[in-house]
């Protein structure tokens, strides 16, 4: 009787462990399938021409995504320029003011902004920039993406700086170094790896964002580097090609996806490398 009872419990134990392993590995299946599809279909279309030429109308063979690559890089730079300084400054503010009304207001706003759906941010950038300027533009896309980057940068900056020992700040202040120089020359450099990691991760995140670009940067089948004109981007190009009825464009979508995934993976890898290699030893 008790023997059976114990046997049943042990069987249950083994069964549960088996199920956990099974389910954990089933969830990897989609990842492998996605990576497999992207690689197989992507590599098939990627060549020098694909990387360096512009999209061509349907019917004409060849063509590429050069303008989309340039556009994505421009959007990254634009949004970085807008959000990085402000995000770092706000992060410093939070790490320097742990309590206080403004600090808790900022923390709450960061949480809400981070959770705001990207499509809503697209609408906002449309209303703020596209509607008054009466044209889709790289600028409006950059602003939409910078709103998405901002909370990530604020949060990682705050979390990084919070870990820096207080005695470093005191060491600097005791040398007669003014507060602002202490922050800029001692505290920030000590946290540089964490902050850079946060920036790269936020860039990786926005690089693949499509929804905020639908009514802002829009898309552009021509080359454009004017920030007041619509601009192409890899995610938008993927969307555009994927939703088209032409098989040739579908394969282009896979090619662009391959580039995009490699780009985000590389950004993630660099971020991880920086956080390990440049880590400040206290």
Partner 1 sequence: MSGTVSNTFQDDMDTQGKSIPGSTDRSEKRFRFILALCGSLIVLLLLAILVTLLVTALPSIKEFGLFFFIGKVWDATTETFGALPFLVGTLFTSFLALLISIPFSLAISIFLGEYFKEGAISGFLRSAVEILAGIPSVIYGLWGLFLLMPAVRFIEMKIGVAPHGVGILTSSLILSIMIIPFSASLGREVITLVPGDLKEAAYSLGATRFEVIKNIVIPYARSGLTAGILLALGRAIGETMAVTMLIGNSNFLPTGIFSPANTMASVIANEFAEATGVTAASLIYIALVLFFVTMIVNIAGTYVIHKLSIESSKEVS
Partner 2 sequence: MENTVLKIENFSASFGDNRILKDINLTVPRNVVAALMGPSGCGKTTLIRCVNRMHELIPGATVSGRMTLIDEDIYAMQPIILRRKVGMVFQKPNPFPTMSIYENVIAGYKLNGIRIPKPELDNIVEQSLKKSALWDEVKDALHRKGTFLSGGQQQRLCIARALAMNPEIMLLDEPTSALDPKSTSQIEELFVELKKNVTMLLVTHNIAQAARVSDVTAFIYLGELIEFGPTEKMFTVPKDKRTEEYLTGKFG
| Nearest approach, Cβ of residue 227 and partner 1 (Å) | 20
132 binds partner 2 (CB under 8 A): no
Cα 247 to Cα 282: distance, rounded to the nearest angstrom: 57
Cα 154 to Cα 83: distance, rounded to the nearest angstrom: 9
Which residues ranging from 33 to 92 are in contact with partner 1 (CB under 8 A)? 33-35, 37-38, 85-87, 89-90, 92
Select from 251, 221, 183 the least CA-distant residue to 37: 251
Select from 207, 164, 199, 210 the least CA-distant residue to 270: 199
Cβ distance 214 to 52 under 8 Å? no
Residue 16 interacts with which of partner 1, partner 2, none, CB < 5 to 8 Å by class: partner 1
Residue from 51, 81, 163, 265 that binds partner 1 (CB under 8 A)? 265
User: With b meaning 16 or more CB within 10 Å and e meaning fewer, what string describes 130-152?
Assistant: beeeeebbbbbbbbbbbbbbbbb
Which residues ranging from 152 to 191 are in contact with partner 2 (CB under 8 A)? 165, 167-168, 170-178, 181-182, 185-186, 189-190
Residue from 45, 46, 68, 110 that binds partner 1 (CB under 8 A)? 110
Residue 211 interacts with which of partner 1, partner 2, none, CB < 5 to 8 Å by class: partner 1
Cα 171 to Cα 156: distance, rounded to the nearest angstrom: 24
Q: 4 vs 281, which CB is nearer to partner 1?
A: 4
| Nearest approach, Cβ of residue 192 and partner 2 (Å) | 8
Cα 134 to Cα 147: distance, rounded to the nearest angstrom: 21
Q: Which residues bind partner 2 (CB under 8 A)?
A: 165, 167-168, 170-178, 181-182, 185-186, 189-190, 192, 280-282
């Amino acid at each position: 009787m008790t023997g059976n009872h114990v046997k049943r419990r042990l069987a249950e134990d083994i069964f549960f462990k088996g199920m956990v392993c099974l389910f954990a590995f089933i969830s990897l299946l989609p990842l492998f399938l996605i990576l497999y599809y992207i690689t197989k279909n992507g590599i098939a279309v990627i060549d020098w021409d694909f990387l360096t030429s512009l999209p061509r109308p349907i019917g004409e063979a060849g063509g590429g995504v050069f303008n989309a690559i340039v556009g994505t890089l421009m959007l990254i730079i634009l949004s970085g320029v807008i959000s990085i300084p402000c995000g770092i400054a706000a992060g410093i503010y939070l790490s320097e003011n742990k309590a206080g009304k403004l600090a808790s207001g900022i923390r709450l706003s960061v949480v809400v902004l981070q959770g705001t759906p990207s499509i809503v941010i697209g609408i906002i950038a449309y209303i703020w920039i596209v509607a008054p300027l009466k044209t889709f533009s790289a600028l409006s896309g950059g602003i939409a993406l910078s709103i998405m980057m901002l909370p990530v940068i604020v949060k990682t900056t705050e979390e990084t700086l919070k870990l820096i020992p207080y005695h470093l700040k005191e060491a600097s202040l005791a040398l007669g170094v003014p507060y602002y120089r202490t922050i800029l020359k001692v505290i920030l450099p000590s946290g540089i790896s964490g902050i850079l990691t946060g920036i790269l991760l936020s860039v990786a995140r926005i690089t693949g964002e499509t929804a905020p670009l639908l009514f802002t940067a829009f898309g552009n089948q021509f080359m454009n580097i004017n920030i007041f004109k619509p601009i192409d981007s890899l995610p938008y190009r993927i969307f555009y090609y994927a939703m088209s009825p032409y098989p040739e464009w579908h394969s282009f979508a896979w090619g662009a996806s391959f580039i995009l995934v490699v780009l985000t993976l590389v950004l993630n890898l660099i971020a991880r490398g920086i956080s390990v290699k440049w880590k400040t030893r206290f």
